[in-house]
Protein backbone atom coordinates (compact mmCIF):
# COMPACT_ATOMS: atom_id res chain seq x y z
CA UNK A 1 0.00 0.00 0.00
CA UNK A 2 1.24 3.46 -0.95
CA UNK A 3 1.05 6.06 1.81
CA UNK A 4 -1.02 9.05 0.69
CA UNK A 5 0.75 12.40 0.35
CA UNK A 6 -0.75 14.94 2.76
CA UNK A 7 -0.77 18.59 1.66
CA UNK A 8 -1.90 20.95 4.42
CA UNK A 9 -2.80 24.61 3.95
CA UNK A 10 -3.50 27.50 6.32
CA UNK A 11 -7.05 27.97 4.99
CA UNK A 12 -9.47 26.88 2.31
CA UNK A 13 -8.76 29.83 0.04
CA UNK A 14 -5.04 29.07 -0.13
CA UNK A 15 -5.85 25.40 -0.69
CA UNK A 16 -8.24 26.25 -3.54
CA UNK A 17 -5.58 28.32 -5.31
CA UNK A 18 -2.81 25.72 -4.92
CA UNK A 19 -5.04 22.85 -5.99
CA UNK A 20 -6.24 24.88 -8.99
CA UNK A 21 -2.59 25.48 -9.96
CA UNK A 22 -1.76 21.77 -9.80
CA UNK A 23 -4.90 20.67 -11.66
CA UNK A 24 -4.46 23.32 -14.38
CA UNK A 25 -0.84 22.22 -14.80
CA UNK A 26 -1.88 18.57 -15.23
CA UNK A 27 -4.65 19.37 -17.69
CA UNK A 28 -2.37 21.63 -19.73
CA UNK A 29 0.28 18.89 -19.85
CA UNK A 30 -2.29 16.37 -21.08
CA UNK A 31 -3.52 18.78 -23.78
CA UNK A 32 0.09 19.32 -24.82
CA UNK A 33 0.79 15.58 -24.97
CA UNK A 34 -2.47 14.21 -26.44
CA UNK A 35 -4.52 17.17 -27.60
CA UNK A 36 -7.16 16.54 -24.94
CA UNK A 37 -7.61 16.26 -21.19
CA UNK A 38 -10.21 14.93 -18.75
CA UNK A 39 -11.27 16.00 -15.28
CA UNK A 40 -13.81 14.32 -12.96
CA UNK A 41 -14.91 16.39 -9.97
CA UNK A 42 -17.03 15.85 -6.88
CA UNK A 43 -20.06 17.73 -5.70
CA UNK A 44 -21.03 18.67 -2.18
CA UNK A 45 -20.08 21.89 -0.42
CA UNK A 46 -16.27 21.62 -0.23
CA UNK A 47 -15.20 22.13 -3.88
CA UNK A 48 -16.88 25.49 -4.59
CA UNK A 49 -13.86 27.74 -3.97
CA UNK A 50 -11.60 25.36 -5.86
CA UNK A 51 -14.00 25.41 -8.84
CA UNK A 52 -14.01 29.21 -8.86
CA UNK A 53 -10.21 29.31 -8.70
CA UNK A 54 -9.82 26.75 -11.48
CA UNK A 55 -12.37 28.43 -13.80
CA UNK A 56 -10.01 31.28 -14.58
CA UNK A 57 -6.81 29.34 -15.10
CA UNK A 58 -5.45 30.06 -18.55
CA UNK A 59 -5.47 26.68 -20.30
CA UNK A 60 -7.03 25.48 -23.56
CA UNK A 61 -10.38 24.63 -21.99
CA UNK A 62 -11.98 23.77 -25.34
CA UNK A 63 -9.84 20.60 -25.28
CA UNK A 64 -10.87 19.65 -21.74
CA UNK A 65 -13.76 17.30 -20.92
CA UNK A 66 -15.25 17.73 -17.46
CA UNK A 67 -17.49 15.20 -15.77
CA UNK A 68 -18.62 14.26 -12.27
CA UNK A 69 -17.29 11.56 -10.00
CA UNK A 70 -20.87 11.12 -8.82
CA UNK A 71 -24.28 12.74 -9.14
CA UNK A 72 -27.59 12.80 -7.32
CA UNK A 73 -30.52 11.39 -9.35
CA UNK A 74 -32.07 14.82 -9.87
CA UNK A 75 -32.31 17.01 -12.98
CA UNK A 76 -29.71 19.69 -13.67
CA UNK A 77 -31.87 22.55 -12.38
CA UNK A 78 -32.42 20.92 -8.99
CA UNK A 79 -30.71 22.64 -6.02
CA UNK A 80 -29.02 19.34 -5.05
CA UNK A 81 -27.65 18.70 -8.55
CA UNK A 82 -23.86 18.48 -8.77
CA UNK A 83 -24.17 19.48 -12.43
CA UNK A 84 -25.76 22.75 -11.30
CA UNK A 85 -22.90 23.36 -8.84
CA UNK A 86 -20.31 22.73 -11.57
CA UNK A 87 -22.16 24.83 -14.12
CA UNK A 88 -22.41 27.80 -11.75
CA UNK A 89 -18.90 27.62 -10.32
CA UNK A 90 -16.53 25.79 -12.67
CA UNK A 91 -17.92 26.11 -16.21
CA UNK A 92 -17.56 29.89 -16.04
CA UNK A 93 -15.05 32.41 -17.37
CA UNK A 94 -12.29 30.69 -19.33
CA UNK A 95 -13.56 27.24 -18.34
CA UNK A 96 -16.92 27.92 -20.00
CA UNK A 97 -15.29 26.55 -23.17
CA UNK A 98 -14.87 23.07 -21.60
CA UNK A 99 -17.04 20.17 -22.72
CA UNK A 100 -19.24 18.77 -19.93
CA UNK A 101 -20.55 15.20 -19.79
CA UNK A 102 -23.38 14.82 -17.26
CA UNK A 103 -24.12 11.64 -15.32
CA UNK A 104 -27.80 12.45 -14.85
CA UNK A 105 -30.11 11.26 -17.64
CA UNK A 106 -33.87 11.64 -17.66
CA UNK A 107 -34.88 7.97 -17.42
CA UNK A 108 -37.63 6.16 -15.48
CA UNK A 109 -35.09 4.57 -13.12
CA UNK A 110 -31.65 5.30 -11.74
CA UNK A 111 -30.48 1.96 -13.21
CA UNK A 112 -31.41 3.09 -16.72
CA UNK A 113 -29.82 6.49 -16.12
CA UNK A 114 -26.61 4.72 -15.04
CA UNK A 115 -26.56 2.71 -18.27
CA UNK A 116 -26.99 5.89 -20.31
CA UNK A 117 -24.21 7.57 -18.30
CA UNK A 118 -21.87 4.60 -18.84
CA UNK A 119 -22.47 4.84 -22.59
CA UNK A 120 -21.93 8.63 -22.64
CA UNK A 121 -18.71 8.30 -20.62
CA UNK A 122 -17.16 6.13 -23.36
CA UNK A 123 -16.36 9.45 -25.07
CA UNK A 124 -13.59 9.91 -22.49
CA UNK A 125 -10.47 7.85 -23.13
CA UNK A 126 -9.23 6.27 -19.89
CA UNK A 127 -7.70 6.87 -17.47
CA UNK A 128 -8.93 10.27 -16.29
CA UNK A 129 -6.13 12.83 -16.17
CA UNK A 130 -7.45 14.28 -12.91
CA UNK A 131 -9.97 12.97 -10.38
CA UNK A 132 -10.99 15.05 -7.35
CA UNK A 133 -12.73 13.10 -4.60
CA UNK A 134 -14.43 14.40 -1.49
CA UNK A 135 -15.32 12.54 1.69
CA UNK A 136 -18.40 12.58 3.91
CA UNK A 137 -18.40 12.39 7.70
CA UNK A 138 -19.58 8.76 7.40
CA UNK A 139 -16.50 7.79 5.38
CA UNK A 140 -18.18 7.76 1.97
CA UNK A 141 -16.42 9.00 -1.14
CA UNK A 142 -17.90 9.47 -4.62
CA UNK A 143 -21.26 7.72 -3.96
CA UNK A 144 -19.59 4.75 -2.29
CA UNK A 145 -21.80 4.94 0.80
CA UNK A 146 -21.46 2.65 3.82
CA UNK A 147 -23.67 -0.40 3.14
CA UNK A 148 -24.73 1.05 -0.24
CA UNK A 149 -26.95 -1.08 -2.48
CA UNK A 150 -24.27 -1.77 -5.11
CA UNK A 151 -21.20 -1.14 -2.95
CA UNK A 152 -19.43 -4.47 -3.57
CA UNK A 153 -19.80 -4.12 -7.30
CA UNK A 154 -18.78 -0.45 -7.23
CA UNK A 155 -15.61 -1.16 -5.20
CA UNK A 156 -14.50 -4.16 -7.28
CA UNK A 157 -11.03 -3.28 -8.61
CA UNK A 158 -11.57 -5.81 -11.42
CA UNK A 159 -14.99 -4.39 -12.33
CA UNK A 160 -15.60 -2.48 -15.56
CA UNK A 161 -15.26 1.25 -16.07
CA UNK A 162 -18.88 2.19 -15.60
CA UNK A 163 -21.40 4.40 -13.89
CA UNK A 164 -23.47 2.54 -11.31
CA UNK A 165 -26.70 3.30 -9.49
CA UNK A 166 -26.34 3.55 -5.70
CA UNK A 167 -28.86 3.78 -2.91
CA UNK A 168 -28.04 4.08 0.77
CA UNK A 169 -29.50 5.30 4.06
CA UNK A 170 -26.84 8.01 4.26
CA UNK A 171 -27.70 9.43 0.81
CA UNK A 172 -30.80 11.57 0.46
CA UNK A 173 -31.71 10.43 -3.04
CA UNK A 174 -30.57 7.63 -5.36
CA UNK A 175 -27.13 8.34 -6.80
CA UNK A 176 -25.06 7.72 -9.88
CA UNK A 177 -21.38 7.02 -9.35
CA UNK A 178 -18.35 6.10 -11.38
CA UNK A 179 -16.94 2.77 -10.26
CA UNK A 180 -13.75 2.45 -8.20
CA UNK A 181 -11.90 1.05 -11.22
CA UNK A 182 -12.81 4.12 -13.32
CA UNK A 183 -11.51 6.62 -10.78
CA UNK A 184 -8.50 5.24 -8.97
CA UNK A 185 -6.00 4.95 -11.80
CA UNK A 186 -6.23 8.68 -12.59
CA UNK A 187 -3.08 10.55 -13.58
CA UNK A 188 -3.66 12.76 -10.56
CA UNK A 189 -5.89 11.41 -7.79
CA UNK A 190 -6.85 13.97 -5.14
CA UNK A 191 -8.87 13.68 -1.94
CA UNK A 192 -9.98 17.20 -1.02
CA UNK A 193 -11.23 17.57 2.56
CA UNK A 194 -11.58 20.51 4.91
CA UNK A 195 -12.12 20.88 8.65
CA UNK A 196 -10.84 19.09 11.75
CA UNK A 197 -13.78 16.69 11.87
CA UNK A 198 -12.92 15.30 8.43
CA UNK A 199 -9.28 14.94 9.49
CA UNK A 200 -10.53 12.83 12.39
CA UNK A 201 -12.67 10.74 10.02
CA UNK A 202 -9.61 10.26 7.79
CA UNK A 203 -7.52 9.10 10.76
CA UNK A 204 -10.25 6.62 11.72
CA UNK A 205 -10.39 5.36 8.12
CA UNK A 206 -6.63 4.89 8.02
CA UNK A 207 -6.71 2.81 11.21
CA UNK A 208 -9.21 0.18 10.07
CA UNK A 209 -9.88 -2.10 7.13
CA UNK A 210 -13.67 -2.62 6.85
CA UNK A 211 -14.65 -0.97 3.56
CA UNK A 212 -18.37 -1.61 3.98
CA UNK A 213 -18.31 0.60 7.08
CA UNK A 214 -16.01 3.25 5.59
CA UNK A 215 -15.72 2.97 1.79
CA UNK A 216 -13.03 5.71 1.63
CA UNK A 217 -10.71 2.93 2.87
CA UNK A 218 -10.82 1.34 -0.57
CA UNK A 219 -9.25 4.48 -2.03
CA UNK A 220 -6.74 4.92 0.78
CA UNK A 221 -5.65 1.29 0.80
CA UNK A 222 -5.81 0.05 -2.77
CA UNK A 223 -6.01 2.81 -5.36
CA UNK A 224 -3.48 2.06 -8.09
CA UNK A 225 -2.53 5.76 -8.32
CA UNK A 226 -0.93 7.62 -5.41
CA UNK A 227 -3.48 9.64 -3.44
CA UNK A 228 -2.80 13.34 -2.81
CA UNK A 229 -4.80 14.55 0.19
CA UNK A 230 -5.47 18.30 0.23
CA UNK A 231 -6.55 19.54 3.64
CA UNK A 232 -7.22 22.89 5.30
CA UNK A 233 -8.82 23.63 8.69
O1 LIG B 1 -22.34 14.45 -4.52
C2 LIG B 1 -21.73 14.37 -3.48
O3 LIG B 1 -22.23 14.61 -2.37
C4 LIG B 1 -20.32 13.94 -3.50
O5 LIG B 1 -19.59 14.02 -4.60
C6 LIG B 1 -19.77 13.41 -2.22
O7 LIG B 1 -19.00 12.27 -2.33
C8 LIG B 1 -19.06 14.53 -1.49
O9 LIG B 1 -17.77 14.68 -2.01
C10 LIG B 1 -19.00 14.27 -0.01
O11 LIG B 1 -20.30 13.98 0.43
C12 LIG B 1 -18.45 15.46 0.77
O13 LIG B 1 -19.39 16.49 0.71
P14 LIG B 1 -19.18 17.89 1.39
O15 LIG B 1 -18.09 18.57 0.62
O16 LIG B 1 -20.50 18.58 1.23
O17 LIG B 1 -18.82 17.64 2.81
82 lines ligand 1 (CB under 6 A): yes
Measured CA to CA, the distance from residue 68 to residue 58 in angstroms comes to 22
Closest atom, ligand 1, to C-alpha of 69: 5
3-state secondary structure the chain: CCCCEEEECCCHHHHHHHHHHHHHHHHHHHHHHHCCEEEEECCCCCCHHHHHHHHCCCCCHHHEEEEECEEECCCCCCCCCHHHHHHHHCCCHHHHHCEEECCCCCCCCHHHHHHHHHHHHCCCCCCCCEEEECCCCCCCECCECCCCCCHHHHCCCCCCCCEEEECCCCCCCCEEEECHHHHCCCCEEEEEEECHHHHHHHHHHHHCCCCCCCCHHHHHHHCCCCEEEEEEC
pLDDT of residue 202: 98
Residue whose CA is at the smallest distance from ligand 1 atom 3 = 44
Question: Structural domain tally of the chain?
Answer: 1
Tell me which of 16, 42, 67, 131 to substitute to probe ligand 1's pocket, judged by most ligand atoms within 8 Å of the beta carbon: 42
137 lines ligand 1 (CB under 6 A): no
Closest atom, ligand 1, to C-alpha of 198: 17
pLDDT in tens, 22-63: 999 999 999 999 999 999 999 999 999 999 999 999 999 999
141 lines ligand 1 (CB under 6 A): yes
Residue whose CA is at the smallest distance from ligand 1 atom 4 = 43
pLDDT in tens, 188-206: 999 999 999 999 999 999 9
Ligand 1 centre from 141 Cα, in Å? 7
**Domain region containing 212:** 5-232
CATH of the domain at 219: 3.40.50.1360
Predicted confidence (pLDDT) at residue 1 exceeds the cutoff of 80? no
Can you give the pTM of this predicted structure?
0.98
pLDDT in tens, 63-85: 999 999 999 999 999 999 999 99
Amino acid sequence: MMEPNLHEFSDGTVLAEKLADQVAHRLAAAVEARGEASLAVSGGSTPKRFFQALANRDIDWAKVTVTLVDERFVPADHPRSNHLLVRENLLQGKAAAAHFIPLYHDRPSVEEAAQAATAAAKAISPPFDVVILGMGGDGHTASFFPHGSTLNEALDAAGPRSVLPMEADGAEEPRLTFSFSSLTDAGMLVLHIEGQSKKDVLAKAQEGTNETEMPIRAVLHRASSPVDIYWAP
